[in-house]
Amino acid sequence: MHQATTMLKVQTPSRGLVEITGELQAWTGRQGMQTGLLTLFCRHTSASLLVQENAAPEVRADLEAFFDRIAPEDRGLYAHDDEGPDDMPAHIRAALTSVQLSIPLIDGCLALGTWQGVYLFEHPPPPASAGRRDRIAGRVMACGLKQGY
Amino acid sequence: MHQATTMLKVQTPSRGLVEITGELQAWTGRQGMQTGLLTLFCRHTSASLLVQENAAPEVRADLEAFFDRIAPEDRGLYAHDDEGPDDMPAHIRAALTSVQLSIPLIDGCLALGTWQGVYLFEHPPPPASAGRRDRIAGRVMACGLKQGY
Amino acid sequence: MHQATTMLKVQTPSRGLVEITGELQAWTGRQGMQTGLLTLFCRHTSASLLVQENAAPEVRADLEAFFDRIAPEDRGLYAHDDEGPDDMPAHIRAALTSVQLSIPLIDGCLALGTWQGVYLFEHPPPPASAGRRDRIAGRVMACGLKQGY
């Protein structure tokens, strides 16, 4: 059994769900992996990983609206606002979802269901910050295990 | 180190938490695994995996009631309702829990705590749909790694 | 590829987020692991694992306050209160976060981001129970895979 590790850089808008399924399939394909486990780890505290419905775009908007409702950008709610009123909502959203995701590989493919896509979920950036987008720009680490070499 | 992969089919009621610990133990037992890692991945967008208390049945009812409170089946809340008013609540519940779970194997047993069970969590199906139950019927994929062959 | 497994015992206060990053680095270091995957599994139903911001202490207080808001210790809300009014809130918090966490190892280090720490999240214990603290005292299991022996 062998392993391959990489750092994936993902271009993201300032916030929201960005599908990365294609990039993951491409990378595992280049590794020649057939059976194994792909583990993703998001190295940021204001982004996370999610498996979600990949067909209707309203699902993504509704998900964002849901997280806005339960973890609103309301300065009065949080003691921590070093980077603005959206700082704690981002950490809470990361806690409620996950920064880690492992997906089995079968016959060289990610074993996702028909309607499943893998998403990087960027949480709200500060209102007037151009620089931060890079900092949370969703580098994802993939540690893949492959068999039979 | 070797791997074994299977698709587990789980019979579920229309919604709720269904314990699958026994089926997982049986499968890993048949593989002769001693030390390793069992990774489960639920290939549906309206079901997820959960480790929970396996003694008091009220825990399961209280958990479902909690998710009904924070992600209610209220058509006015969501833009996405292709499959009925319960469609988005199901996606939200899947986002708040997880479709993936990895459990270490030690001495041939899942390393669960005394009061822990593994559950497939079926999220609400559409009110008058007989066919959907199959679609979300909790196939769980297990990718187990075993040592020492 | 080899594996190592251990049971980590973590001293925790009665509730809250306790950083365990140092203990994890020390253990993986002793194993001589270079590239691989560290999987943690919390064997309790009233504690969980979280990757969070490790700089500002207010983040931890705000996170606890958030979970107090969405899963309050209100006896009227839950049927299950065998161990007091905080019993179900603890199970709900465990369901919303996770009892499992896998972190890639690269060049002998946990591949965490600059601002990420690994936390054991102890959920509220019963008000007047001295004994329970041990029961939920955050034993964490680490199943590490290492390469190249």
pLDDT value at position A136?
29
Residue C1 has pLDDT above 90, yes or no: no
Query: How far is A28 from chain B, CA to nearest CA, in Å?
Result: 17
pLDDT value at position B31?
82
Is some CB atom of chain B closer than 8 A to the CB atom of C35? no
Amino acid at A44: H
Is some CB atom of chain B closer than 8 A to the CB atom of C146? no
pLDDT tens-digit series, residues B10-24: 877 778 898 999 988
Closest Cβ–Cβ partner in A88, A94, A99 for C62: A88
Q: How far is the C-alpha of A53 from the C-alpha of A60, rounded, in Å?
A: 8
For residue A113, give Cα distances in angstroms to A51, A54, A116, B46, B138.
Answer: 10, 10, 5, 11, 11
Task: Determine, for residues C62 and A80 on separate chains, whether the beta-carbon distance falls below 8 Å.
Answer: yes
* Rounded mean pLDDT, A9-13: 76
pLDDT tens-digit series, residues C26-68: 888 888 877 788 889 998 888 899 999 998 888 999 999 999 9
How many residues can be counted in chain C? 149
For residue C90, give Cα distances in angstroms to B51, C34, C80.
Answer: 13, 36, 11
Task: Determine, for residues A58 and B43 on separate chains, whether the beta-carbon distance falls below 8 Å.
Answer: no
Task: Determine, for residues A80 and C59 on separate chains, whether the beta-carbon distance falls below 8 Å.
Answer: yes
Closest-CA residue of C relative to B113 is C43
* Rounded mean pLDDT, B67-81: 86
Q: How confident is the model at residue A132 (pLDDT cuts 50, 70, 90)?
A: very low
* Chain B contact probe: residue of A59, A63, A103 with most B CBs at under 10 A: A59
Is some CB atom of chain B closer than 8 A to the CB atom of A95? no
Query: How far is C51 from chain B, CA to nearest CA, in Å?
Result: 15
Residue with more model confidence, A77 or B13: A77
The single-letter DSSP state of residue B123 is P
Closest Cβ–Cβ partner in A61, A62, A147 for B3: A147
Q: Establish how many alpha carbons lie within 13 A of residue B104's alpha carbon, considering only the half-sphere containing its beta carbon.
A: 27
Q: How confident is the model at residue C137 (pLDDT cuts 50, 70, 90)?
A: very low
Tell me the pLDDT of chain C averaged across its residues.
Answer: 79
Amino acid at B49: L
The single-letter DSSP state of residue C13 is -
pLDDT value at position B85?
66
Is some CB atom of chain C closer than 8 A to the CB atom of B62? yes
* Rounded mean pLDDT, A137-143: 45
Task: Determine, for residues C100 and B96 on separate chains, whether the beta-carbon distance falls below 8 Å.
Answer: no
Q: What percent of chain B has pLDDT over 90?
A: 26
Question: Closest Cα to residue A44, out of C102, C120, C19, C116?
Answer: C116
Whether the CB-CB separation of A35 and B3 falls below 8 Å is answered with yes
pLDDT tens-digit series, residues B31-57: 887 778 888 999 888 889 999 999 888
Backbone dihedral angles phi then psi of residue A14, each to the nearest 5 degrees:
-65, -30
Question: Closest Cα to residue B35, out of A101, C138, C145?
Answer: C145
Whether the CB-CB separation of C45 and C94 falls below 8 Å is answered with yes
Q: What residues pair up with C104 in beta bridges, in sequence order?
A: C37
Q: Establish how many alpha carbons lie within 13 A of residue B105's alpha carbon, considering only the half-sphere containing its beta carbon.
A: 26
pLDDT value at position B74?
81
Is some CB atom of chain B closer than 8 A to the CB atom of A36? yes
pLDDT value at position B132?
36
Is some CB atom of chain B closer than 8 A to the CB atom of A101? yes
Task: Say which residues have a Cβ less than 8 Å from residue B148's Cβ, sequence separation at least 6.
Answer: B1, B34, B35
Tell me the pLDDT of chain B averaged across its residues.
Answer: 79
Whether the CB-CB separation of C102 and A39 falls below 8 Å is answered with yes
Is some CB atom of chain B closer than 8 A to the CB atom of A37? yes
Task: Say which residues have a Cβ less than 8 Å from residue B134's Cβ, sequence separation at least 6.
Answer: none
Partners of B45 on chain A (C-beta within 8 Å) are: 51-53, 113, 115-116
Query: How far is A17 from chain B, CA to nearest CA, in Å?
Result: 12
Q: What percent of chain C has pLDDT over 90?
A: 27
Task: Determine, for residues A95 and C147 on separate chains, whether the beta-carbon distance falls below 8 Å.
Answer: no
List strand residue ranges (DSSP E) for A9-113, in order. Answer: 16-19, 36-42, 47-53, 100-106, 109-110
* Chain A contact probe: residue of B1, B5, B68, B139 with most A CBs at under 10 A: B5
